[in-house]
């Protein structure tokens, strides 16, 4: 153990990785399909354990500075945020735009091998631009120099191959470093046109490299996408046109024709009627039926896969319940906090408090503000906020739910009361 501490001390002083720490062993794991096709494998990189401890120490120093730099649009790998934040924000924007008869266009953007393709020298320049301490920049740069990989198949190791681009897979720093690269790209696009909610303008939502560009027209989204392509190319990021698609949500334009597309530069992006954003199904008419059905199907599939285990007489009931709570229930109730349905009070009421406590965030903005416009004639759809109001009014009928939510202790009492009904 003392020798490992000495190596970390040496690295901190000399800013050079000890021998062996820059080598990653990559184990190809077959996903599905023909095992003879390389693209059907996912490579899992194994790094030196002591290096991973060092990497986490560096990460602890990166995080506070990164939190001041990153925009609120980015929810990936940040404290007190999850995919649910981004899904909730998107669903609220869609729900309110539909309610106030506002058309919106959403483009879901994916990159080709995002983490593996970024230019390392550009990363260092970005860290300098964001005023990271010189010592920290040198340590980060040292972890990315002279990196190598070895491929392990069965018990055989290949000869080392040098890697000169991209972030290291399995490295604790990589996600937050990618966020900083993307932050530079997003700032350079300088996009101001988006969905207006009150005084806020929301044009991009992102969870790491999963990006949603928002605009009131297809042309607006096109302009942002064009800038994004140009700025991303400067750090060696390339749009994956196979995974990038767009959707138009409008009461007027509900006629979808097969083969519709958007042309941006040399790319052609398909128009779709539904898209799986962060594993949550978004549809062009903002209907939850497909998402709920998909959750039920996935739950049934998981239950079928564990059927023999759950029906085993050798396992205790407590262990089976624990397996259900760990392996099946989270799949069925993923992002259920965002559903305006009666059966989801428990997760929804808890999430409502969490959202109100997030001061100056996109999540809170999407709850509080509305688009500029008029509601069309007819009975409006059931909104998420309507469900929260109904949940709270049963317990606290005289005070608006947002006011009640500001008092955390009182909100916890209401949560317990709702769950016990």
Please report where in the chains the tokens 């980060």 appear, as a residue: 140
181 φ, ψ (degrees, to nearest 5): -65, -45
- Report whether 330 contacts 336 (CB < 8 A): no
| Average pLDDT of the residues of the chain | 84
Q: Of 267, 415, 253, whose CA–CA distance to 345 is shortest?
A: 415
Q: Which residue has the higher pLDDT, 285 or 343?
A: 285
pLDDT (0 to 100) of residue 11: 63
Helical segments of 281-344, H only: 289-305, 307-310, 317-323, 329-332
Give the gyration radius of the chain's Cα atoms: 24
pLDDT (0 to 100) of residue 34: 84
Task: For residues 117-138, give the mean pLDDT.
Answer: 93
Structure tokens at 279: 């594993």
Q: Which residue has the higher pLDDT, 212 or 11?
A: 212
Task: For residues 197-217, give the mean pLDDT.
Answer: 90
pLDDT (0 to 100) of residue 256: 57
What are the tens digits of pLDDT across the range 213-238? 999 888 999 999 999 999 999 999 99
What are the tens digits of pLDDT across the range 297-317? 999 999 888 888 888 889 898
- Report whether 249 contacts 104 (CB < 8 A): yes
pLDDT (0 to 100) of residue 390: 76
Q: Is the pLDDT of residue 419 over 60?
A: no
pTM of the predicted model as reported, rounded to 2 decimal places: 0.80
For the chain, domain boundaries:
2-282, 286-420
Q: Is the pLDDT of residue 23 over 70?
A: yes
Structure tokens at 278: 């962060």
Q: Is the pLDDT of residue 375 over 70?
A: yes
Distance (Å, whole) CA 57 – CA 172: 9
Q: Is the pLDDT of residue 344 over 70?
A: no
Q: Of 82, 95, 64, whose CA–CA distance to 74 is shortest?
A: 82
Q: Which residues on neighbouring strands pair with residue 281, listed in sequence order?
A: 276
Structure tokens at 314: 């050798």
What are the tens digits of pLDDT across the range 58-77? 999 999 999 999 999 999 99
pLDDT (0 to 100) of residue 36: 83
Q: Which residue has the higher pLDDT, 155 or 74?
A: 74
């Amino acid at each position: 153990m003392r020798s490992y501490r000495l190596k970390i001390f040496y690295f901190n002083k000399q800013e050079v990785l000890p021998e062996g720490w820059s080598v990653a062993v990559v184990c190809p794991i077959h996903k599905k399909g023909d095992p003879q096709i390389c693209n059907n494998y996912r490579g899992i990189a194994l790094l030196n354990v002591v290096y991973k401890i060092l990497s986490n120490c560096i990460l602890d120093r990166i995080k506070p500075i990164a939190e001041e730099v990153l925009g609120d649009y980015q929810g990936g790998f940040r404290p007190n945020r999850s995919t649910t934040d981004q899904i909730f924000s998107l669903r609220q924007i869609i729900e309110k735009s539909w309610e106030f008869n506002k058309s919106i266009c959403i483009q879901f953007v994916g990159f080709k091998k995002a983490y593996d393709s970024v230019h390392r020298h550009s990363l260092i320049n970005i860290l300098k631009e964001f005023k990271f301490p010189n010592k920290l920049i040198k340590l980060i740069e040292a972890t990315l120099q002279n990196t190598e990989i070895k491929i392990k198949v069965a018990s055989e190791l290949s000869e080392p191959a040098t890697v000169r681009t991209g972030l290291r897979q399995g490295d604790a720093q990589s996600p937050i470093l990618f966020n900083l690269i993307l932050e530079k790209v997003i700032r350079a696009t300088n996009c101001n046109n988006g969905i207006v909610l009150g005084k806020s303008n929301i044009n991009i939502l992102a969870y790491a490299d999963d990006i949603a560009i928002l605009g009131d027209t297809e042309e607006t989204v096109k302009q942002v996408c064009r800038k994004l392509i140009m700025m991303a190319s400067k750090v060696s990021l390339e749009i994956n046109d196979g995974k990038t698609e767009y959707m138009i949500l409008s009461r007027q334009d509900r006629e979808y024709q097969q083969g519709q597309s958007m042309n941006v530069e040399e790319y052609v992006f398909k128009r779709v009627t539904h898209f799986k954003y962060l594993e949550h199904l978004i549809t062009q008419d903002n209907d939850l039926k497909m998402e709920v059905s998909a959750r039920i199907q996935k739950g049934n599939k998981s239950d079928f896969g564990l059927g023999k285990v759950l029906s085993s007489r050798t396992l205790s009931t407590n262990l089976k319940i624990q397996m259900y709570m760990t392996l099946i229930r989270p799949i069925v109730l993923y992002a259920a906090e965002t559903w305006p349905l009666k059966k989801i009070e428990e997760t929804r009421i808890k999430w409502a408090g969490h959202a109100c406590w997030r001061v100056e965030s996109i999540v809170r903005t999407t709850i509080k503000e509305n688009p500029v416009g008029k509601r069309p004639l007819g009975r409006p759809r059931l909104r998420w906020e309507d469900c929260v109001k109904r949940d709270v009014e049963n317990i606290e009928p005289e005070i608006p739910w947002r006011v009640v939510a500001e008092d955390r202790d009182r909100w916890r009492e209401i949560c317990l009361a709702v769950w016990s009904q």
